[in-house]
Structure formats: C-alpha cells, structure tokens
Structure 1
C-alpha cells in the first residue's frame, strides 16, 4: 500500500532559578511557521499491519481541536489538518475510539486570551469528550474551563504551569524542559564550558529558559548565557556578533522559524565556527532554503522524528500522504498528529461509551503508550514522568544530526 527562534548587558544575564515556569513555553514562540506550501516528500510504504481493516461503526464521539489560526502573528492551519488526518486514519483503521468514529470539532484561536477562552467555552458547549491542543501559549485560560467541565485536555507539550500540574490535563512529551536538559547533558558530554543561547524574546520563553538554566546547564557545569532576540528580527547580526565574541564553545537557537533563519544567516555571514544546537522549528523548509549549508552539522533536539525509516516516522508520512496529501508535513505540523493519535492510542482501553470520564480514566491509567512520530519513546500519564510536573507524560526526546536540512541518525535522549 502506498502511503507518506540584545544588548550586550542583556546577553550577559545568567540563567537563574526563581521562576516556576518549568514549561515548554517555547512552543508559543517557536511554532509560528505560517508555511502552507506543500513540501515534496518521498513516497513511503507503511506495513499493511499499520492499516488494518477496522473501521469505526458506532455513534460518533466528538473530539475538540483548538488550534492557532487567523491571528495577526501566529497561524498554523497545518497542525489542525494533521490532527484531522490522524482522526480519519483512526476511524478507518483503528476503530476510532472504542469503536466509535471520531467527529472532529474545531475552533480557530487567534492566540490571545479572549479568543482562546472563547474556544474553550465552545468545546464545553459542544459536549466534546476530549480536547486536543496542538500548540498554544494560552493554556492557562483554557485548562480551567475544559478540565473544570470534566473534559480531558491533551497537548503534545504544555506551555504554562497550569497545563503541567492540573489533573485531567496531559502534556504527552517533555517539551522545552526536556530539550533544555538534553542540550545541557550533550554540552557536558562534549566538554563545553560556555553556551550562548539565542532565545526568542517573549516573556514566557525567556522566563522558562532563565528558570531552567541553572537546574540543567548549571548542574552540568556549563555556563548558559542568554541573548534575547526580538520576534520578527530580520537581521540578528548584532546579537550573534556579541554572543559568539564572548568565548563560547557552542550556540543554541530557541525560537520560531523566522528567528532561526535570522540567527543562522548571521552565523553564516560572520563565519562563526561554534557548534550549533537547534530545535524543531529550525528544520522548517523555509529555514533550510534560506540558510543553505549553515545548518549542516548542527545537533537537533526534537519532539518528533519525521524523516527516518523508523516505523513511527514512516507511519506519520504515510498517514499524512493518504489523508492530507497537500499539507507540508515538516516544521511543527506533527504536533496535531502527535496529540490526536496520542489521545486515540491512550484511549484504547475505554470500555463502553467513550465519555469524557471514561477517556480521562483510560489516559490516566494507560502505560507505555507508543509516542506518535517518535520511535522508541513511550508515554505514561500517571504523574511520575517529570518531578514537579505531574501532567507531563514522558521524559525523553530525540537527538539527531542535521544533514542537508534533515535530521539524520535520530537517537532517544534523556
């Protein structure tokens, strides 16, 4: 079956503990790619066992999707399309949820508190059995409404403390805390003494990086220095020039595709030779096209593997080819697929009607659920994956090398 992200004084601020925002808040600043162009992808063959003849036939179960679309700064329709594709795949081949076909109920949020709050209220009014949020910085206004109505809230990676600590809210992967911890461990392994982190200058991301810096890099014996970069900065040469002049061994880039492009272009222009550590948005096709070989050799810390021959990567490409063939599968598109299929897999233990309570109980008690689009990673949402963040369901991420704009040789990192 044929299937397929300042001044010199700001730069020298040391990361410090003191803010409890141990979150993956970078998603707000990083998942901002507006690319709708369809990337040319290789045709892939998924095993027939991944597409069993098991259509859902019962009465529909409503699953909500709240996705940033149509806002002045952030719009990611591909995330929603990926969530819808995962639901279509499950309806045709996995028996939906407990044999009931999934009816996707969507709400486009403009990534402002009022809009996201309105979407949360719409989900309650629509009587959905669960809500999937591929990416948002406004979980703090949505979670109380949704979970307060007894409805489970599922996101790939939470962006606020509320999402990481509230019962019935589930953040499937370790997100930014996990990526930062992996970067720190990798830096220590490589013998780095000082790392410059070019970070998109939104309050949440800067606060998160500061809050986690000493707990990760400091504990690893590596000095982390922050270089804030204003969102939308077309030329980050001043920041990069100041950063790489400060005797650093490596640079980390934490931001959206636009910021990745700006920083990487400056690195190329300056001929900076430091090792590079990047996150998923830096592999967006728009970045690769703009910076050329500057990305080659970088170490990528990812929430998903979409390029390898691993079964989960192949399945992602195959599902997207069949159910959303016109969608660019790169960048952060995977978040919608990962959240929706993660929910579906965790809810397979539902017996009887897939009510919000039944789905919530199934997610909470499911053990070692395979993480969609992330081979060799599982999630368990019993509150033990990350200390202090009971809603986080996994503590591992993917580390890969960048070659020709692709993540190669992906490995699971702690």
Structure 2
C-alpha cells in the first residue's frame, strides 16, 4: 500500500500523479500540495468557492486494515470534482488520517480533524470510530459512514449518519436467505478482536434463536492466521454453510476458500464481502455467497439498467487510481463519498457541521449511489436503510443477487439489536 500525505488537495497534478497519503501529523499540517510542474489537469480547476473539507478515518493500517477504502475515497474525490462539479460548485477536499484500530489513534485523528476545520468526518469502516464521537460531537462535526463496524457507534443515532445497513442487517439477511433455502446450520469466523466478541458472543446467539438455526462462530488470529486449521474448525460438524462473517482482506478469503475445498467441504462458503477469490480460484468459487451494501462490478450482468452506468463510472474511476486496490471496500467508500456529495449538492449558503448533519438526517427516499433508496433521521438508528445485497457466485464467475435486488432483513429480529432500526 502506498504512503499518502494527510490532506488531499485537488491541485495541479491530481490527474497525472496519484495522491499519496500518510498518517496525519501531530500538528495536522498540510504537506500534500502536488507539484505544479508535474503536468496534467486538475479536476477542481474550474470549481469556484472555498473547498468543502471533510475528514477521513483511513483504515489502511493496523492489525485489521481494510485495503481499498482509501482507493475508493481518492477515486471519489476525483469523480466528484471532475464529473459532478464538486458539491454545489465547490471542490471537495479530504483530510486523511491513518488509523490503527485503536481508540487512542481514533481520538488523535478526531482532534486533528477539529483543528483542520472539517465539516464532516467520513468513517472508513473503522473498528474504533466511537472514540472519535466525544471530540466530534463537542465540535458539532457529524460522523458519516456506510456500515458502522464499531458496534458502539452503531448503537445510537445522535451526531452520526450511515448510508448503508447496520452490521446486524448483513448477518440477519444472510442467515435468513440460508434458512429459506434449507440451510439450517452455519459456522462463521471472525478475526479475534474485542468487537468480534461482541458480535459472535452476543449477537450471533440471539439471531440463531430468532431464526431457529444452529449458528455458531469461531475466531482466528489477526496477525498469524492458520487457514488450514480455521477451515477444519468451520467444517468440523459439516454445517450447511460456513466461512467468514467479515474478512480482514481479500487474501484471507482466497486462502480460506481453497482450504475448505481442499478438505472437501461441499457446503455453501460464505465469504463476507470478498470478490477477488472468484478470479483467483474460479473452480472453488461457484456456489459461494457474499454480501454487499452496494452493487459490485462482478454483478454488472445482473444489475438493473439504471445502475449499470453508475457502476461503470465507479469502476473506471477506481481502476484509474495508480497503485490502488479494488474490491468491496473501494466501491463502498466510493459510494459513500458520492452519496454524501449528491445529498449536499443543493444546499445553499455556508456548509457547516450542523447544516451537513441536518441535511443528511433529512434525506427521505433518496437514491444512494450504487445502493437502495435511503431515508435517514431515525431517532434510534444512525443507519438510513437496513436493506442488503446477498450475492451467489455463478459458474461463469459473475455474482447474482438473491431475489434479484436488495433484500429486507426481518425488522422484528433487527429490532432486538440496539441501533439496528
């Protein structure tokens, strides 16, 4: 993964040289001015007015990184400024701060964002985003994301907006679909972190009881995973479906799929939001399942016509990032930034933290980018939808959504989980 300066200035050489981001310095200073002599065109050159500055909790580092999120964010900045005309004619500018999954680092980033005067902070699937909330709320800066990976962040609605469903919705949706197709037993794995124990030890038993399923979880090391042993643990009692509830990276999915097939596990392999394994191990991929908050390129053949143009635009922008990483996190982060920009495009006057929050909370039946229509502003949930996509891997390597489109997990089940509805 590349190193990158702390602030993305959409200046002279953005199109000619990829932006390079690194962790925010302690003083929060901006060292990201591109070399004016490097050539190329600036997507924001024709935009007037002061930039709309947003923070980004960049999840590229730490024990459980989410590679691709920074690629999606960078591609989205270029797309928003170059194709959408910015936000109300003003360029979007991103102050990026690398996180390492620890609350201490998240808090440090929050303080930097306040110093930098951002009007919102974009949560890049951060496991400790709740640590930013006291600082951000005191400064009147909203936290904006897709899926709250920190269950504390996802448990309440104040000061935050998330455009996709809560974690529980993806798990409930997948388990519902498995149940409906006669799969009554499931074993799912998560990397061994405190938030994972909240999910496996607390949430999974509740869902298993509500759906009348035999569902259990196992853990694996974030630093030294043994996928042969993990595959054996998942397949031990021959469950109808098994795999990863969430994956630390695409390589983990590929390794686990190959290990499960090697020991002749023939159940449905659930690969969280991974897609690279389909190209890496096509013979092993067919019949697998994965979830997503957005449409993905591998589903292009099965996407609605009105989605295909947006999906192609996102694919072109993401593939245009020099040295970038694709996959779910890239497309989800891209969709997050674009939905944010489109939602604020009609706001007149100065954009501040409070106006950003009130505008986003006021969205109703709003067409999110690559996602479903969203309605925000729930008093009990930060999420604007609970709909999810569950894809099945086809023999030809494409992925097709179960039911043809977004699924609605059972609200009576989600209602048992704080912040889910």
Q: Please give the range of the TM-score, normalised by the shorter of the 2 chains.
A: 0.7 to 0.9
CA contact (8 A) 1:63 1:132 kept: yes
Alignment: residue pair count:
352
CA contact (8 A) 2:205 2:216 kept: no
Q: Cα distance, 1:411 vs. partner?
A: 2.7
2:378 aligned residue: 383
Determine which of 327, 330, 334 is the counterpart of 1:330: 327
CA contact (8 A) 2:291 2:389 kept: yes
1:209 aligned residue: 200
1:274 aligned residue: 267
TM-score, normalization: structure 1? 0.77
Structure 1 Cα separation of the partners of residues 370 and 119 of structure 2: 24
Alignment gaps of 5+ in structure 1? 1-35, 37-52
Any residues of structure 2 matched to 1:62-141 within 5 Å, and which? 62-71=53-62, 73-76=63-66, 78-141=68-131
1:367 aligned residue: 364
Structure 1 residue matching 2:72: 3-state secondary structure: helix
Please, which moves more after superposition, 353-362 or 226-235?
Answer: 226-235
1:316 to 2:314 alignment: yes
Determine which of 185, 195, 214 is the counterpart of 1:223: 214
1:158 to 2:148 alignment: yes
Which structure is higher in RCO with an 8 Å CA cutoff and minimum separation 6? 1
Alignment gaps of 5+ in structure 2? 1-19, 21-43, 301-306, 409-421
CA contact (8 A) 2:67 2:325 kept: no
2:287 aligned residue: 297
2:400 aligned residue: 408
Structure 2 residue matching 1:391: 3-state secondary structure: coil
2:350 aligned residue: 353
Deviations 1:88-118, CA, capped at 9 Å, x for gaps:
3222333322332212222222332222211
Structure 2 Cα separation of the partners of residues 270 and 151 of structure 1: 50
Determine which of 373, 377, 399 is the counterpart of 2:390: 399
CA contact (8 A) 1:63 1:131 kept: yes
C-alpha change, 1:119 and 1:243, in structure 2 (3 Å) is closer
Determine which of 162, 172, 176 is the counterpart of 1:181: 172
Q: Alpha carbon RMSD of aligned pairs, Å?
A: 2.6
Structure 2 residue matching 1:195: 3-state secondary structure: strand
Structure 2 Cα separation of the partners of residues 293 and 175 of structure 1: 32
Structure 2 Cα separation of the partners of residues 122 and 232 of structure 1: 29
TM-score, normalization: structure 2? 0.76
Q: Cα distance, 1:142 vs. partner?
A: 0.9
1:341 to 2:338 alignment: yes
Determine which of 241, 252, 261 is the counterpart of 2:232: 241
Structure 1 Cα separation of the partners of residues 78 and 174 of structure 2: 36
Q: Cα distance, 1:191 vs. partner?
A: 1.6
Structure 2 Cα separation of the partners of residues 234 and 201 of structure 1: 10
Structure 1 Cα separation of the partners of residues 208 and 314 of structure 2: 33
Please, which moves more after superposition, 260-269 or 113-122?
Answer: 260-269
Structure 1 Cα separation of the partners of residues 58 and 230 of structure 2: 32
CA contact (8 A) 2:148 2:167 kept: no
Structure 2 Cα separation of the partners of residues 395 and 54 of structure 1: 38
C-alpha change, 1:107 and 1:232, in structure 2 (3 Å) is closer
Please, which moves more after superposition, 291-300 or 404-413?
Answer: 404-413
Deviations 1:42-78, CA, capped at 9 Å, x for gaps:
xxxxxxxxxxx9963222221111202444x345564
C-alpha change, 1:325 and 1:408, in structure 2 (3 Å) is farther
Structure 2 Cα separation of the partners of residues 151 and 343 of structure 1: 14
